[in-house]
Structure 1
Amino acid sequence: MTRFSRFVGFLLMTGLTAAAACADGQPAQGPGSRLQSLGEVAAVELKPRPLQIKGWKTHSGTKVLFVRTTDLPMFDIHVSFAAGSARDGLLPGLAATTMSLLSEGIPGKDLPAITETLDGLGAQLEFDIDHDRACFSLRSLSDPAKRLPALDLLTRILSEPLLSEDRLPPVKDELRAALVDQQGDAGDLALQQVKALLAPDNPYSLPVYGTEQGLSAVTRSAVQDFHRRYYAARHAQITLVGDLSLEQAQAMSLQISNALPTPRDGYMASATATPGDVQTRHLEFAQQQTHIVFAQPSVPRRHADHAALYAASQILGGGSNSRLMKELRHKRGLVYDAYSANDNWAGGAGLLTIALQVGSPLRDATLALVRSMLDDFLRDGPTAMELDHLKRRLAHRNVLNSASNRQILARLVEINRYDLPLDLDYAMQQIQRLTVEDIKHALSRHLSADRWLSVAVGASVEQQPLPEPVTPPTGQTEQSTCRADPSFVAS
């Protein structure tokens, strides 16, 4: 193929890609879009794979969920514990230190030996922590010659870690470095400040990695006690996906559950997310952009109105066609991105957040504009067209996001964590049943225009007015945000 023919092929593929990118669950509206397949997108019925969830509880009290997939000869196992930073007590950083020390050594194997063993088996081990749970994920081949030693290593890491005195200082140093990184990120700083305003003097208002003072006070005996108390079978959840039989999955869950400690009752923290009188706050930060976060308490994942509020957050800031993106980026060119989320937080509460960043001279005007948009949205709710577009987009995404074992595992972990119905498509089906009135009622029941908190992190500079909004270019409607030249689209 000549260079010229390759270039023509590139142009043709670019045109097709631009047209397809505009579909996003609905055909592009530009007059130059005449590709027949685009007009058929909305009529295609997309069905996820029929995957059955099996669930059981071990005698030790561990809840287990399993989905069998046979496309690849491998499996993923996710083990989580109610051992997040909200259990730190008087030592902020204790939970993160304990989690980090678990993989630092077991009897007969130090960290390099553990890493070498995993590499030799072709296995991957990852771990993470948030306010509520500490999580460990293992990916391995299903072949017993690989699966059994990999599972044995994971079991020993969780049940008999050395938690050595020698490894405690370097682990603390790593967590201090993570804290410094967070403090140097304006976006993280803004979100952390929002949480501090919503739940002052509560473990959910502190960073997951703790504080400098808390880390300095953590001792090996405190770590050992934390492990005995919270890394217990009744605080554990196990989620399995992959090429395993039901009998193999059950045996794997029993092996882990039976090996875990059996402690006395543990302290379980909770928080009352009640904001104080401060509704706006600005933190000085030397950079050209200002990070802004709006937030107010919402509902937890299991609440009957969660689906409606999640849909509302997606319509507000869930992609290029959201209200915030249309107004702030497409019309005014203020932001690169703006997004919203409705997450579980504070041990049984919820938190609705809206985040964006804007040039520091436009901070105050942008705050006022977004607050006005939020007030309008809470008063009027979404339009029927906005909800219809969201339903199509999520239905298409639902299929794409259940293609791999990792994607299935993520969905299954959420079901396990929040005790949701045993249906991988449950969340999407809830959205499909919503009406505009459902969302309006949920907004009026749980959110209020006078309860928004906002935190801005950036430099104090002279403020300027917003640029005037621009009208969409010819050939683009308010519903189509595609920027491809209509004359360039294949016909």
Structure 2
Amino acid sequence: MSRFSRRTGLILMWLSAAAACADGQPEQARKSRLQSLSEVQALEIKPRALQIRGWKTLTGTKVLFVRTSDLPMFDIHLSFAAGSARDGSLPGLAATTFSMLNEGIPGKDLSAIVETFDGLGAQWEMDIDHDRAVFSLRSLSDPAKRLPAMDLLTRIFSEPSLSAQRLPPVKDELRAALIAEQGDAAGLASQSIKALLAPDSPYSLPVYGTQWGLNAVTRAAVEDFHRRYYAARHAQITLVGDLTLDQAQAISLQISNALPKPPDALVSSAMATPGNVQSSHLELNQLQTHIAFAQISVPRRHADHTALYAASQILAGGSNSRLMNELRHKRGQVYDVYGASVNWAGGAGLLTVTLQTGSSMSDSTVALVRSMLNDFLRQGPTAPELEHLKRRLANRNVLTSASNRHILARLVEINRYDLPLDLDYTMQQVQKLTVDDIKLAMNRHLSVDRWVSVTVGPSVEQQPLPGPEVAPIGQAEEDMCRADPGFVAS
């Protein structure tokens, strides 16, 4: 018998055992099989022994570092306040400058840079949004690998070629990216929401700018943008991995000392000022309609942010959220619903709910979601909903905190928003919340008449939503049972 046949046979045996369990076991015996799940829910939360070290270089670069020695490698995350919110009168300038950094340094073009990093076993990534330009590198800690990798990374920021010959093809690539974005329903919904909430700010425009803005970008403008915003005082460095404190400090100094040092301080990007339009539809020929709801909220450092983050998760985060229960488990209308409370628009915040559904029922779905959002703002969460969120976040905290990448992601958030030096800060703050805390925070900052909505999809004949099922699918979880120990799926 082949390995595949043996595995198939074991799976069939397991399925047969599960069916027998469902048909032949008393209710009490079946429920007792789920004892291990209750043990996971009661998981004790213990602080980790990881110490966060922080400092600022003499040239003004903020640095955070956590040492982990399980693997002989390290991750560095370097970001600059050089996102598209600083485009000024040239939408696309930030993205052009960012892309030009990817075009080479004296003596090495892009192919040579990639070949060098590959030869060192290093992984290099780049990203840009409205607020920041981000560069990350994963490298081995061995000095024979680390030192040349860091030397090359430092030169990319401090000695970019910014050649006149590479400017036209870079602008062509960005123009193509803008055209491609017109077919991305999720991206269009997200950007359209921002345009409704901040119509007169850079946040109303795509990160890659506009066609006319890209046409007007010159090499001199790129050089000036690099000198002003890719500067030591506008940089943040986050390090995690197998480095000593001395090595981490040496890396931060190497980068900071090599960056431009302009005399001017960073000017805050424009704040969001909501417009008057409350809803918008974008026509796009596809099978489903993307739906987004949002309203301006509080920034990440605000005292009420944790309560509003918890509200967004109870409402639209995870398989047991209020919207998921109604739209998927009871009505089968969506695959998933996403809720978020994020920093946005020059120090404001943004609370969003996004989903997609069949286009023939998009109007009725929008009406139902708006009604549920308003009910939630008026009534707040229930005590069981809050307790479920606390357990879920505590368990997820353990699952998403073991690797260097997980630790780095949390440390970057701490660095970016000047949060307390505690990797478990957000989770611990959620554990302290009460139902009243969340209700009061929503009353202070959110309103039923401030939701804006966007739909992206085709205009088709509309149908009413199906009614909710009497018995939610979630009830099936209580009836699940495990196969007998003798049957194991390979």
Decide whether aligned partners of structure 1 residues 193 and 54 sit closer, same or farther in structure 2, where only a CA change above 3 A counts: same
CA contact under 8 A between 1:274 and 1:297: conserved in structure 2? no
Q: CA deviation at 1:13?
A: 6.6
CA contact under 8 A between 2:30 and 2:479: conserved in structure 1? no
Q: CA deviation at 1:203?
A: 0.6
Q: CA deviation at 1:37?
A: 2.4
Question: Alignment partner of 2:164: what SS?
Answer: coil
Range 2-11 or range 240-249, more displaced: 2-11
Match of 1:23 in 2: none
Counterpart-to-counterpart distance in 2, 1:6 and 1:364: 47
Decide whether aligned partners of structure 1 residues 407 and 461 sit closer, same or farther in structure 2, where only a CA change above 3 A counts: same
Residues 191-214 of structure 1: CA distance to partner in whole angstroms, max 9, x if unpaired? 111111111121111111111111
| One-letter amino acid of the structure 1 residue matched with residue 11 of structure 2 | F
| One-letter amino acid of the structure 2 residue matched with residue 197 of structure 1 | L
Q: CA deviation at 1:282?
A: 1.5
Counterpart-to-counterpart distance in 2, 1:65 and 1:421: 12
Question: Alignment partner of 1:193: what SS?
Answer: helix
Residues 255-309 of structure 1: CA distance to partner in whole angstroms, max 9, x if unpaired? 1000100113156343333322221212222223111111100011000000000
Match of 2:36 in 1: 37
Range 359-368 or range 236-245, more displaced: 359-368
Match of 1:280 in 2: 279
Decide whether aligned partners of structure 1 residues 32 and 453 sit closer, same or farther in structure 2, where only a CA change above 3 A counts: same
Residues 357-381 of structure 1: CA distance to partner in whole angstroms, max 9, x if unpaired? 1111111111111111011100110
Counterpart-to-counterpart distance in 1, 2:476 and 2:333: 16
| One-letter amino acid of the structure 1 residue matched with residue 8 of structure 2 | F
CA contact under 8 A between 2:271 and 2:345: conserved in structure 1? yes
Decide whether aligned partners of structure 1 residues 439 and 361 sit closer, same or farther in structure 2, where only a CA change above 3 A counts: same
Q: CA deviation at 1:32?
A: 4.8
Decide whether aligned partners of structure 1 residues 8 and 47 sit closer, same or farther in structure 2, where only a CA change above 3 A counts: farther
Question: Alignment partner of 2:318: what SS?
Answer: coil
Counterpart-to-counterpart distance in 2, 1:15 and 1:81: 57
Match of 1:368 in 2: 367
Question: Alignment partner of 1:117: what SS?
Answer: helix
* TM-score, reference length from structure 1: 0.92
Match of 1:176 in 2: 175
Decide whether aligned partners of structure 1 residues 487 and 136 sit closer, same or farther in structure 2, where only a CA change above 3 A counts: closer
Counterpart-to-counterpart distance in 2, 1:17 and 1:61: 62
Counterpart-to-counterpart distance in 1, 2:28 and 2:376: 25
Counterpart-to-counterpart distance in 2, 1:126 and 1:306: 30
Aligned pairs (5 A) from 1:92-491: 92-265=91-264, 268-472=267-471, 480=475, 482=477, 486=480, 490=484
Range 300-309 or range 36-45, more displaced: 36-45
| One-letter amino acid of the structure 2 residue matched with residue 321 of structure 1 | N
CA contact under 8 A between 2:271 and 2:347: conserved in structure 1? no
CA contact under 8 A between 1:229 and 1:266: conserved in structure 2? no
- Cα RMSD after superposing both structures: 2.3
Q: CA deviation at 1:46?
A: 4.5
CA contact under 8 A between 2:272 and 2:346: conserved in structure 1? no
Match of 1:53 in 2: 52
Decide whether aligned partners of structure 1 residues 163 and 132 sit closer, same or farther in structure 2, where only a CA change above 3 A counts: same
Question: Alignment partner of 1:336: what SS?
Answer: strand
Q: CA deviation at 1:29?
A: 11
Gap runs ≥5 in structure 1: 19-27
Counterpart-to-counterpart distance in 2, 1:47 and 1:38: 19
Decide whether aligned partners of structure 1 residues 359 and 30 sit closer, same or farther in structure 2, where only a CA change above 3 A counts: farther
CA contact under 8 A between 2:317 and 2:338: conserved in structure 1? yes
Q: CA deviation at 1:456?
A: 1.0
CA contact under 8 A between 2:127 and 2:135: conserved in structure 1? yes
Q: CA deviation at 1:173?
A: 1.9
Q: CA deviation at 1:4?
A: 6.2
Range 305-314 or range 212-221, more displaced: 212-221
Q: CA deviation at 1:67?
A: 0.2
Number of corresponding residues:
477
Residues 80-125 of structure 1: CA distance to partner in whole angstroms, max 9, x if unpaired? 1111101111111111111111121111111111111111111111
| One-letter amino acid of the structure 2 residue matched with residue 191 of structure 1 | S
Decide whether aligned partners of structure 1 residues 219 and 330 sit closer, same or farther in structure 2, where only a CA change above 3 A counts: same
Match of 1:9 in 2: 10
CA contact under 8 A between 1:317 and 1:323: conserved in structure 2? yes
Decide whether aligned partners of structure 1 residues 44 and 191 sit closer, same or farther in structure 2, where only a CA change above 3 A counts: closer
Range 343-352 or range 105-114, more displaced: 105-114
Q: CA deviation at 1:401?
A: 1.0
CA contact under 8 A between 2:33 and 2:482: conserved in structure 1? no
| One-letter amino acid of the structure 1 residue matched with residue 383 of structure 2 | A
CA contact under 8 A between 1:78 and 1:239: conserved in structure 2? yes
Counterpart-to-counterpart distance in 2, 1:17 and 1:120: 51
CA contact under 8 A between 1:309 and 1:439: conserved in structure 2? yes
Counterpart-to-counterpart distance in 2, 1:195 and 1:149: 41
CA contact under 8 A between 1:48 and 1:402: conserved in structure 2? no
Residues 49-84 of structure 1: CA distance to partner in whole angstroms, max 9, x if unpaired? 421000000000000000000000001111111111
| One-letter amino acid of the structure 1 residue matched with residue 174 of structure 2 | L
CA contact under 8 A between 1:315 and 1:322: conserved in structure 2? yes
Counterpart-to-counterpart distance in 1, 2:256 and 2:125: 19
Range 294-303 or range 110-119, more displaced: 110-119
Question: Identical aligned pairs, as a percentage?
Answer: 74
